[in-house]
């Protein structure tokens, strides 16, 4: 018995917004409008799982450096003519405090120090498309926890969309890691799609200068 591991390393395309005033101006620094967005958009095929084996799908997302990154949306789905046996997973953020000093090695910031959330699958649907061919579809959702500890709450306290991510310019690990597992032997390969959008804020926009200084000062 062996575990088949596939790692997808995905970079972001950066799209600046049109600014009504230069960001160097005080009005630009104080604006709540993001500087721009980082968009991940990737299509790939998961591995086929052999007899008696298991599967692990790894998605490593690399955010652009020197920004405060706020997750706006995350979509992971599979759409295939073969049954989709990929099940539960997790989403991890390589969280570091704003302003540094930033950890710049995977020894100083191992995955055990990431912030992790459960990544649960929805039901696998079997839908007939426009050519009368049946296709399986499955999507994954971050399990959110409310104050009462109820999963998938609309008023969530524990949600990666509320966490600012700072990335050291020389950190070699991924900014966001997604794991999904498959424990069904003899599974066919499946077509996957990932789309993630992060709002980007410059250091001047995100926090006061004393927070971003080194050493950090939390009050003037």
What integer is the mean pLDDT of 31-56?
92
- Per-residue pLDDT at 77 exceeds 80: yes
Q: Please report the pLDDT score of residue 188 as a whole number.
A: 94
Mean pLDDT of the chain: 84
Higher pLDDT, 64 or 157: 64
Give the E-state strand segments of 66-214 in sequence order: 68-80, 89-93, 115-121, 125-128, 134-142, 165-166, 176-182, 191-201
What integer is the mean pLDDT of 36-50?
95
Other CB atoms within a 10 A radius of the CB of residue 130 amount to 5
Other CB atoms within a 10 A radius of the CB of residue 193 amount to 14
Q: Please report the pLDDT score of residue 220 as a whole number.
A: 42
pTM as predicted? 0.86
- What percent of the chain has a predicted confidence (pLDDT) above 70? 82
Instruction: Kindly report, residue by residue over 116-157, the tens digit of the pLDDT.
Output: 999 999 988 888 889 988 899 999 999 754 444 445 544 567
**175 band by pLDDT with thresholds 50, 70 and 90:** very high
What integer is the mean pLDDT of 199-203?
88
What integer is the mean pLDDT of 34-38?
92
- Per-residue pLDDT at 203 exceeds 60: yes
Handedness of CA 129, 134, 135, 141 (dihedral sign): positive
């Amino acid at each position: 018995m062996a575990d088949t591991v596939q790692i997808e390393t995905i970079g972001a395309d950066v799209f600046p917004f049109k600014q009504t005033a230069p960001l160097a101006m005080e009005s630009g620094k104080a604006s709540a409008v993001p500087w721009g967005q980082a968009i991940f958009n990737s299509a790939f095929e998961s591995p086929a799982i052999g007899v008696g084996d298991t599967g692990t799908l790894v998605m490593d997302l690399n955010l652009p450096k020197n920004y405060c990154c706020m997750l706006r949306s995350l979509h992971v789905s599979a759409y295939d003519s073969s049954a989709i046996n990929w099940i539960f997973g997790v989403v991890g953020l390589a969280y570091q405090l704003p302003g540094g000093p930033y950890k710049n090695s995977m020894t100083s910031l191992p995955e055990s120090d990431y912030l992790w959330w459960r990544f649960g699958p929805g039901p696998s649907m079997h839908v007939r498309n426009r050519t009368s061919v049946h296709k399986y579809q499955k999507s994954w959702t971050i399990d959110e926890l409310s104050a009462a500890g109820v999963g998938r709450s609309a008023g969530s306290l524990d949600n990666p969309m509320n966490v600012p991510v700072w990335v050291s310019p020389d950190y070699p690990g991924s900014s966001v890691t997604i794991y999904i597992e498959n424990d069904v032997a003899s599974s066919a390969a499946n077509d996957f799609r990932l789309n993630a959008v992060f709002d980007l804020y410059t250091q001047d926009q995100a926090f006061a200068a004393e927070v971003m200084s080194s050493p950090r000062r939390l009050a003037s």
